[in-house]
Amino acid sequence: MKAEELPRSYVETVNNLIDEYISYREDGTAYWTGNNEDVESEEQIFREAKEALVVHIHQWDKKDITVLKDAIIDLKDINELLGCMDIVPYDWDDLPSADIPIYVDTGYPIYAMDKSGRCLTSNMEVAQLYIDGHGGYEISTHPVVGMHPYVTPRKGSFHTPIEWLRARWMQEHHYEEYSDWIFDRFDAPDLSAEEIRECKFVDLYTLEEFVNER
């Protein structure tokens, strides 16, 4: 198969994913870089691309939900090009995801969430998880008045007092569970658990002065 024979759908859908695996000879013939064998057919390209996409999805780093969304859409496109009858291109239960807070009803449904609280929801929409200072939450494609975007706490790596306070607040409200050692970097001897719990989430910065690095 020569380069000019590669279908436009291939170029648009999987070019960035498997270009590293395909090279071209001077006569334009496409071959697999790893073993120097000719690319035999369009179907072979799509099947290789499908495998690469599945790996790409499985290894998603959970930083940007749109990367996961685009990969799933590409997988759906390849399934159609291969004549697959799959209505759903991927098993939603197997999607990688940042830890979704236990108080969030994933029956929305939420298929996956990135570390910034952006969720992949029904109809492949991206929506933000918002929370308030009283345990309330909302999943919306637009900013929610009185709420702020949820951000996944970095377990074991609370580098600032506000991160430490937010994690303590989440634990006091039973939204998250952490091991005691995770909080070892900072301490707040003059701040009670009740004071942290009763403070509004958005006002936790007012308690930073009580937090000291050990």
- Tokens linked to 49: 């691309």
Q: Is 154 helix (H, G, I), strand (E, B) or coil?
A: coil
Domain boundaries, the chain: 3-81, 97-149, 161-213
Residue 208 Cα to chain centre, angstroms: 30
**pTM score > 0.85 for this model?**
no
From the list 76, 90, 64, the residue with the least C-alpha distance to 13 is: 76
pLDDT tens-digit map of 139-167 = 999 999 888 888 776 555 566 788 889 88
Task: For residue 186, give Cα distances in angstroms to 112, 115, 151, 175, 181.
Answer: 31, 23, 20, 21, 10
pLDDT digits (tens, 9 = 90+) for 67-126: 999 888 888 877 777 776 454 556 777 889 988 877 788 877 899 999 889 999 988 899
